[in-house]
Amino acid sequence: MSFFQVGWSPIMTIKSQVLALKYRPQTFKDLIGHEEIATTIYNSIKNNISANAFLFTGIRGIGKTTFARIVAKALNCEQALESICKKKCDQCDPIANSNHIDVLEMDAASKTGVDDVRELIEFSRYPPSTSKFKIFIIDEVHMLSKQAFNALLKTLEEPPKYLKFIFATTEVKKIPITVISRCQRYDLSRIKSEELFVYLKNITIKEQKDVEDNAIKLIVKLSEGSVRDALSLLDRATISNNENSLTFEDAQKIFGYVNKNSYITLLEIILLGHENEIINHYRKLYNSGIEPILFLNDFLEILYYLKNISNIEKEGSNITLNDSDYKKITSLSKKLNSNTILLFWEFTLKTLKEINIVANPNLLIEMYLIQLTYLKKKNVKQNNHQNKIKNTPIKDIDVNNTINKDFVNQIKNIKQEEEKIEKENSLEINSFEDLIKMCIQKKEMKLKYELENNVNLVSFSNTNIEISFNDRLNKSFVKDLSEKLYVWTKNRWLISFSKEKGEMSEKEKKKGLKKKKIKEYEGSNEYKNLLKALPDIELIDIEKIDD
């Protein structure tokens, strides 16, 4: 069949394999971070009550395809279920190498059509050749078309006893609920940092690689809970450093990662108010390869640690902070009050929103850092003023000067000003006709076409639109319309689908109106006189021409 092809690969020794393949789990016991799910599936297979279809969902590199192959082994080999299978097994070895005749892997990203699924269903009519179950593993299943999913439904719900489906996806929301309801769903979470650290540490020992713990922690942080990403990063780092010991500084250079210590130092300079040093320090960070958006996000992380350092564990079990950074942030947090940290936090978030407005984001970052020094100075004056008030007898307090309103409310005022401008620029849409006119005004011809041709209005009220639609409606219509409505009106709109037929579409209304005008004109004396003079004429359209 054209649908399935037995793959081949050049001979590759275990020693020459990349770490992600070399240490790919082969049994349930090898898996990390998903013990509960592994136990559930193990028990279901052992007691012969396994599901017709399994659905594994989660981020990239979390173990979805690996899980699928382990389940396929366990279904077809009792020894594999108990993790005592011999190394070269007629069932397990071909499954691990993706060339088992009865365990067929399909990449839905390249096989999306209904014809591909029909071919698969046709192939499923035949029982397995050499194993207990015929198993279809479909990776990135969300890429299948709507018609392909529909063709799969019946077989998925009532497959032959010898047939099992295993699906894997990174975007479960794109899978129809009718398919999800027929599967046993398992959500694979990110691997915890502590578990991933221990896992990588053990691999470095097996590989006889000298890697510092802080370097491994950096790899864990950059991998964001993905085992495959972590192993790929470890592979890259050890290859780059060849046979030498891999230090934290080496790992930073290899991955282009800026040490938290640099941000802490920058924050100390900001608090001192040395503008030239601030600019020079930031430019060094930028020249090291860091992007402005990434810089702001990392700066936010430092502010978070400053505010919550008392709730963060010390070196040892903590992955994100080393001992030196922990001590520095603890010391710095004592010099800053919560008001200053929260002001910096709000101002950083505001800068993040504005970063795409300017042509050169670096100019924005440099001005932002200088503004932080003035925020600090103003906050110090405010605190001194408040302390002075505390020590002043109540009768001597000037109520009008007890609060520095310009400072305390500056972020709030900025937000209010933005909301005021947004409100002034917002537009009113009170009817379906207004909505179509707005599309014309804003030159959103695609939305206008959908609204006029493929949508039937059921109800239209304040920020609520209920519609029915035909098969030609674009899949992204609701998302696109919601986004535009928010931009135009500054309000969130609820667009819902109804089972009711609704009104005629605008196109049908125009056709009906045109037919009515034609019929009315055909009954007029003017048209009758024209027929007498020209008996073979036919009235096909009427257009109103303005004066």
Provide the edge-to-edge strand list for the sheet that holds 103-107: 103-107, 134-139, 163-169, 53-57, 184-187
User: What pTM did the predictor assign?
Assistant: 0.59
Summary count for the chain: helices (H), strands (E): 25, 8
Looking up tokens 């399909």, which residue turns up? 106
Is there a contact between 266 and 296 (Cβ–Cβ < 8 Å)? Answer: no
Band the pLDDT of 4: cuts 50, 70, 90: very low
- The predicted-structure confidence for 120-169, as pLDDT tens digits, reads as follows 888 888 888 888 899 999 999 999 888 888 888 888 888 888 999 999 99
The CATH 1.20.272.10 portion of the chain extends over: 260-390
Supply the CATH classification number for the domain 260-390.
Answer: 1.20.272.10
DSSP alpha helices (H): ranges in 336-476?
338-354, 361-390, 405-408, 410-425, 432-441, 445-453
Residue type, 397: I
Summarised one tens digit per residue, pLDDT across range 223-256 is 888 999 999 999 888 887 776 788 888 887 888 7
Buried b (16+ CB within 10 A) or exposed e, 224-239: ebbbbbbbbbbbbbbe
d(CA 478, CA 496): 9
14-187 under CATH 3.40.50.300, yes or no? yes
| The two three-digit tokens of residue 26, written as one number | 């082969």
> In the chain, which segments carry CATH 1.10.8.60?
193-255
Percent over 90 (pLDDT), the chain: 12
Fold of 193-255: Helicase, Ruva Protein; domain 3 (1.10.8)
Domain with CATH 3.40.50.300 in the chain: 14-187
Q: Which pLDDT tens digit goes with each residue over 164-218?
A: 999 999 999 999 999 999 999 999 988 988 899 999 999 999 888 888 888 888 8
Question: What type of residue is 275?
Answer: E
pLDDT at 5: 39
Distance CA 362, CA 283 (A): 9
